[in-house]
Amino acid sequence: MRVAVDAMGGDKAPHEIVKGSVQAAQQFPDKEIVLVGDEKALQHELNAYGTTPKNITIYHASQVVGMDDPATYSIRQKTNSSITHSVKLVANGEASAIVSAGHTGATVAAATLHLKTLKGVRRPGIAITLPTQHGICLIIDVGANIACKPIHLFQYGVMAAVFGKYIYGIKNPRIGLLNIGEESAKGNDLVKETFTLLSNSHLNFVGNVEGREIFDNKADAVVCEGFVGNVMLKFAEGLAINLLSTIKAEAMKSFWSKLGLGLCKPAMEKLRAKMDFSEYGGAPLLGVNGVCIIGHGRSDSKAIQNAIKLALQLSKNEVNEHIISEVEKTNALTADIA
């Protein structure tokens, strides 16, 4: 099987993207990797590795979607972008999966447009893996769909259960609904209607989950609308950065606490490794007809290598096929829903 890697996407592209792809090519010698992007630039990067692994090829794409380009503009105007060409390789059957650390909105738009959704799936959603003290918790959606209906949220639960089962080996994933309280009557119309759908389904639904409970091992996956998931994650990222830099700034003010901070460094490093998104490679856009992994804009070679690994796992474990059959099981429940 072949993975199309958007080699121009991300803050550290193309250098770290090519490096991670070369590492993945060496790790998975029986799989093929297609680097999509500016041929000259990519060849130049590859030359640094001496002999290019045989399972790496370049596919030329002359344009790059900038991080400030509006998603819809990039799809309509930049038809030769590395994102669009990567997606088209999958749409044409020349590759099975895309990995991109570039413009998330453009990747979602291109994947939705060219790959379409899986049979029965209404809207794709991005599922991120959140490391916690107890293991992991999946959050879906974190920004693919900001005009969310109950049926979309419900299907996110179905897809997250498949992802949790076939990628993380969780037998019967506990699905939670992000809400502002635990009682079933809580929340806005969107979550109340979703609550009913989830309750009546075959899923292992554990009810409403409050923001802080995501870390409490109450659910293996939590569903929420893309707008909410997106601002929530970014706020938490901002808080974590603010918190750690404030600790550092305070500690630097005295000799003893500065020394203390130095002694704590190994513990902090272990924490960093635990919380490190690059370990998880990227977040799948679940629900499109093809495997699509969205990497963090800051992805380095390790994150790209892990994203490629995740793409291979999704293909090998037939996550999309399982999603189709699990969604089909809910047809009777959702038949009348617009």
Q: Does 268 bind its own copies (CB under 8 A)?
A: yes
The pair of structure tokens assigned to 290 is 């093809």
The pair of structure tokens assigned to 53 is 């692994």
The pair of structure tokens assigned to 192 is 């109340």
CB 97 within 8 A of CB 291: yes
The pair of structure tokens assigned to 181 is 């309280």
| Candidate list 92, 169, 171, 253; residue touching its own copies; CB under 8 A | 253
DSSP bridge pairs for 117: 288
Q: Interacting stretch for its own copies, rule CB under 8 A, among 36-44, 90-98, 212-220, 302-310?
A: 212-220
| Sites for its own copies among residues 278-337 (CB under 8 A) | none
Nearest approach in angstroms of CB 157 to its own copies is 17
Q: Does 262 bind its own copies (CB under 8 A)?
A: yes
> Minimal CA–CA distance to 55: which of 82, 38, 34?
34
Nearest approach in angstroms of CB 333 to its own copies is 25
Which whole-number Å values give the CA distances from 291 to 61, 210, 245, 317, in the listed order?
20, 30, 37, 11
Pick the closer one to its own copies by CB: 299 or 315.
Answer: 299
b/e sequence 246-255, b meaning 16+ C-beta within 10 Å: eeeeebeeee
Residues near 30 by beta carbon (within 8 Å), at least 6 away in sequence: 55
Q: Interacting stretch for its own copies, rule CB under 8 A, among 196-204, 253-261, 290-298, 321-329?
A: 253-261
Q: Does 231 bind its own copies (CB under 8 A)?
A: yes
Residues near 147 by beta carbon (within 8 Å), at least 6 away in sequence: none
Residues near 192 by beta carbon (within 8 Å), at least 6 away in sequence: 185, 186
Question: How many amino acids of this chain bind its own copies (CB under 8 A)?
Answer: 68
Q: Does 135 bind its own copies (CB under 8 A)?
A: no
| Sites for its own copies among residues 57-86 (CB under 8 A) | 68, 70
| Candidate list 26, 27, 77, 188; residue touching its own copies; CB under 8 A | 188
Pick the closer one to its own copies by CB: 5 or 109.
Answer: 109
Give the footprint of its own copies on this chain (CB under 8 A): 68, 70, 105, 132-133, 143, 146-147, 178-181, 183, 185, 187-189, 191, 210-216, 224, 226-228, 230-247, 249-251, 253-254, 256-257, 259-268, 270-271, 274-275
